[in-house]
Structure 1
Amino acid sequence: MITRWNLASAGLIAGLVCALGAIPALADRVANPQPGGSAGPVAIELFTSQGCSSCPPADALLERLATNPNVLALTRPVTYWDNLGWKDTLAREGNTNLQRAYAARGGVGAGVYTPQIMVQGTYGMVGSDEHAVRSYIAQARAHIGPAISVASQPDGSRTITIDGKAGPGDRVTVVALRSSVAVHIGRGENGGNQVRYTNVVLGEHVLANWSTNHAVVAVAAHLLHEDGADRAAVLVQQGSAGPILAARML
């Protein structure tokens, strides 16, 4: 069932998140970050909709968080508000399916609702609860791995090198993004408003399974510019909807 969570729910989730401490679900799979801040960014995914009146504050929060080099922020507009007066111009069924898969896995903040932020594909919370989101990002920094390095090639492609502890079902995905999109919403709960979205997911492709502790993966140039994308990111993730182990802008 689709729900929008109220402020009481946000406070409950924030309390649960703060009580969790470190992230044991990830700790046994990732390397400790090296001194000097060489760990990669924490991946956060915002499930949002142009038809959801509670979402613009979360959209604005994601825009602020995206300026932090220690955060890789993605916007994933969903489709299930489209029958309530306005069809989201950025929504993808793949985003809706991913959120449902996260919800089916369970855990803190699990569910199909907007706005929702998932941190490292592991724990969810109300997407406008800035304190909870920032607290969990800070905790997740202690469990980032593997290490991802990126090299640009003369033909516009990228070569990704991944070093860390590989596991069964791990995979490497490239995500094509639009860095900023301003949308004038004509009808529905946000009718008449203009909302700006940051790092909107336009397309994604599985590049390879990550089965060895050292792997080199090529990213073709056309995957970086799919459907008008102006940037791209790579995610190393357990399966199709498991914890995100590492992320990097390309």
Structure 2
Amino acid sequence: MKTPALIAAIAITAAGVWGLNHSFSSGSSPRATSLKLASSSASPVLVELFTSQGCSSCPPADALAEKLAQDPSLVVVTRPVTYWDRLGWKDTLAREANTQLQRSYSSRGIPGAGVYTPQIVIDGRAGTVGSRAREVRSLVRDSAAKPHAVLKVAKRKEGGFEISTGGSNGGELSLVALTSHVSVAIGRGENGGRNVGYSNVVRAETKLVPGKNGSFHVEQGQLETKGADRYAVILRDRAEGTVRAARYL
């Protein structure tokens, strides 16, 4: 696990986590990465991976996210962060907004929170080291058992979509543009010389504004983000960022 020095006092035992996770950095695969998760595809669970091309501990978590992305009961989003760029390689997929979201999760003090990589956060409720498949599976099942809103999506004749939050008031709905798969040849840093694959990488994120009837419109032009070939919508609580619902379009 990689943790910036300026926040080394986060509420997680960094040394212990590094000891477990660093054992995967030699190229070996973590155990139990093939997950069959018993959550309802009607209300998918959001899995967000915070990762970095400059983090030697991250490739096993990137591989796990690729497996999870095949599960229809999950919405998997990869969010490369910026704070390891100083180690000799600038992450070609990183966005500062991803870093800020992770810091927001940490400031809320959710279980397993902190600013480190690799980290997986489930529904904005709890996090864990991103390569710990068994813990990820447990957190997904815990979150799937909690109430979720249902996002109803209908195609519009003029293009785009109309989205209803099913009476779930007070939340913020975002449209997330994704690239379903990216392979990066990393030239320098801790992963120098490696080709690493990333699944459902965030390219852009846009807050949607509800119309007069309370539903949201996604215009066709919003589905033309450069490099994106997949889109998802995420409904969050305003105050704390907990995810009420998520789904692919």
Mapped contact 1:51–1:189 kept (Cα < 8 A): yes
Q: Distance in 2 between matches of 1:62 and 1:201?
A: 13
- 1:91 has 2:98 as partner: no
Q: How many residues align?
A: 223
Unaligned runs of 5+ in 2: 1-5, 21-38
Match of 1:9 in 2: 17
Matched, 1:132 2:127: no
- C-alpha distance in structure 2 between counterparts of 1:11 and 1:189, whole Å: 17
Q: Name the SS of the counterpart of 1:83 in structure 2.
A: helix
**Residues 57-206 of structure 1 aligned to structure 2 (within 5 Å):** 57-167=60-170, 170-206=171-207
Tell me the CA shift for residue 242 of structure 1: 1.1
TM-score, normalised with respect to structure 2: 0.83
Report the more deviating stretch, 43-52 or 222-231: 222-231
Once the two structures are superposed, residues 47-72 of structure 1 have per-residue CA deviations (whole angstroms, 9 ceiling, x without a partner) of 00000000000000011001000110
Q: Gaps (5+ residues) in structure 1? A: 13-35
Measured after TM superposition, the shift of residue 209 of structure 1 is: 6.1
Aligned residue for 2:57, secondary structure, equals coil
Counterpart-to-counterpart distance in 1, 2:222 and 2:216 = 13
Q: Alpha carbons of 1:37 and 1:55: their partners in 2 closer, same or farther (altered >3 Å)?
A: closer
Change in 2 beyond 3 A, CA 1:199/1:5: farther
Residue 232 of structure 1 is matched in structure 2 by: 231
CA contact (8 A) 2:41 2:73 kept: no
Looking at structure 2, the residues matched to 66 and 185 of structure 1 have their Cα atoms a distance apart, in angstroms, of 23
User: Residue by residue, what CA displacement relative to the aligned partner does 1:160-208 show, whole Å, maximum 9, x if unpaired?
Assistant: 11114424xx211100000000000000000000000000000001102
Residues 87-106 of structure 1 deviation map (CA, whole Å, 9 limit, x = unaligned): 00000000011111111111
Name the Cα RMSD after superposition. 2.5
Q: Using the alignment, how far apart are the partners of 2:244 and 2:125 within structure 1?
A: 10
**Structure 1 residues 233 and 240 mapped into 2: Cα distance closer, same or farther (>3 Å)?**
farther
Question: What is aligned with 2:244?
Answer: 245
Query: What residue is the counterpart of 2:46 in the other structure?
Result: 43
Instruction: Report the AA paired with residue 199 of structure 1.
Output: N
CA distance in 1, matches of 2:239, 2:199: 23
TM-score (norm 1): 0.82
Residue identity in the other structure for 2:44: P
Change in Cα spacing, 1:242 to 1:185, as seen in structure 2 (3 Å) is: same
Q: d(CA) in 2 for partners of 1:192 and 1:2? A: 29
Give SS of 1:131's match.
helix
Residue 55 to residue 101, structure 1, CA distance change in 2 (3 Å) = same
